[in-house]
Structure 1
Amino acid sequence: MNRRDIIKSSALFLGYAVSTATLSEAFMACSQEAKLDWKPTFLTNNQAASIAEIAETILPKTKTPGAKELGVPQFIDKMLKDLLSEEEQKDFVGGLEKLEEDCEKAYGKSFVECTPEQRKEFLTKLDVEAEKLPPSVWGIRLAPPSPTPFFRRVKELTLLGYFTSQKIGKEVLGYDPIPGKYIACMPLTPGMNAWNE
């Protein structure tokens, strides 16, 4: 074996070593689970991270706390595990997978990796496209109910979890567990909420 053959062999070996390490890193990055500060009981970590970002996009932090701060993703995970039927659970997970596929097609990345502006644009489009409720007369539906579309279900669970949280109930909605006497006409002062005074 001469020097030229040794150099070719070592270059080829080095190329294999580098490409194998690079490929294994790429595959590891694709399959890594999202890091959460809580453990989901029904969803996978990646699904829970997506739900957390969807909920936060629907109800972001402003003067009031955001959905993630109030534990809405944990609430949704618990509702999925404890209250939905197996069929509804499958529909929900299937809807979440479709959302991720559509987001990948639209932006070339997962929902979690999108910018806040892209998330808002994407969810606004989904909200507009969501099937409207069937018409009803005096509360009686005129058409048979169809399965709830994914976005409507996740939005419903997000709002339910947010507005039934203790912090929002006490500090934003002004919940009074034992209301006082009924005063039909009372003067309102600046900063006073009519529903909780």
Structure 2
Amino acid sequence: MLKYTALITGGALSASFTSVFLSGCSKPETDTSELHFFGEDAFERVSLMADTILPRTDSPSATDVNVHHTIDTMIGLVFDMDFKTSFREQWEELELFLDDRNFLNLSQSERVELVRSIELNNGVCTSSAKRAYTELKQQTIAYYLTTEEIGKNYLNYLPIPGDYRPTITIDEVNNRAWTI
């Protein structure tokens, strides 16, 4: 899963994310309206960014499975203070970039193009803003893939594994990745 996340985001996972992800944290509650790290305006941007990264298709969007709440909870309650301080500075740069481009009022296709410009890093934003985006993208993908909804209903899921077969064809697993 970590390898696929790194491949999807085009880089290595940050050390802070990896340490928290591998620590076996319990699943945070996602039904609370209390925010732990982001303010309401910033949380709206996080929600839109998450849905731009993973929009609703034949599977739920990132916010449909509460990834935005998980990100807020993990950063606010689990990550260490050094990470929080660094991420807050980077996030402020990303917010300025998004606000300058009226991100909240863009259509989905316009948001995708804006995110693509950050991805390609054609000098459109600062390196701090790009780091904040990369961290947000990594968390969005990782938390999405580890939700119960996605794991059980959209990936191959075997609560009690059967025989180990080291070589199988992709057709034998319905062209789906395995849940961890």
Equivalent residue for 2:69?
Answer: 74
Kindly tell me: are residues 182 and 50 of structure 1, through their superposed partners in 2, closer, same or farther at Cα, counting changes over 3 Å? same
Equivalent residue for 1:129?
Answer: 121
Q: TM-score, normalised by structure 2?
A: 0.67
**In 1, distance between residues paired with 2:176 and 2:48?**
34
RMSD: 2.8
Equivalent residue for 2:131?
Answer: 149
Aligned residue type for 2:91: L
Task: Specify which structure has the bigger relative contact order, considering alpha-carbon pairs within 8 angstroms and separated by 6 or more residues.
Answer: 2
Task: Choose which of 77, 83, 88 in structure 1 pairs with 2:78.
Answer: 83
Residue 144 (structure 2) pairs with residue 162 (structure 1): yes
Query: Shift in Å at residue 85 of structure 1?
Result: 2.0
Q: CA offsets per residue over residues 132-173 of structure 1, 9 Å max, x none?
A: xxxxxxxxxxxxxxxx91111101110111000001111111
CA contact (8 A) 2:50 2:68 kept: yes
Equivalent residue for 2:17?
Answer: none
Structure 1 residues without counterparts, runs of 5 or longer: 1-36, 131-147
Kindly tell me: are residues 190 and 101 of structure 1, through their superposed partners in 2, closer, same or farther at Cα, counting changes over 3 Å? same
Residue 110 (structure 2) pairs with residue 118 (structure 1): yes
Equivalent residue for 1:54?
Answer: 49
Question: In proportion to residue count, which structure has more helix?
Answer: 2
**In 2, distance between residues paired with 1:101 and 1:83?**
26
Query: Shift in Å at residue 194 of structure 1?
Result: 7.4
Task: Choose which of 37, 41, 45 in structure 2 pairs with 1:42.
Answer: 37
State the 4+ residue runs in structure 1 displaced beyond 6 angstroms. 185-191
Equivalent residue for 2:98?
Answer: 103
Task: Choose which of 151, 160, 163 in structure 2 pairs with 1:178.
Answer: 160
CA contact (8 A) 2:156 2:173 kept: no
Aligned residue type for 2:46: I
Kindly tell me: are residues 76 and 178 of structure 1, through their superposed partners in 2, closer, same or farther at Cα, counting changes over 3 Å? same
CA contact (8 A) 1:91 1:150 kept: no
**In 2, distance between residues paired with 1:122 and 1:194?**
29
> What SS does the aligned partner of 1:157 have?
helix
Give the number of aligned pairs.
141
Kindly tell me: are residues 182 and 79 of structure 1, through their superposed partners in 2, closer, same or farther at Cα, counting changes over 3 Å? same
Q: What percentage of aligned pairs have identical amino acids? A: 25
Query: Shift in Å at residue 193 of structure 1?
Result: 4.8
**In 1, distance between residues paired with 2:152 and 2:42?**
30
**In 2, distance between residues paired with 1:129 and 1:194?**
31
Q: Which structure has the greater CA radius of gyration? A: 1
Query: Shift in Å at residue 51 of structure 1?
Result: 0.5
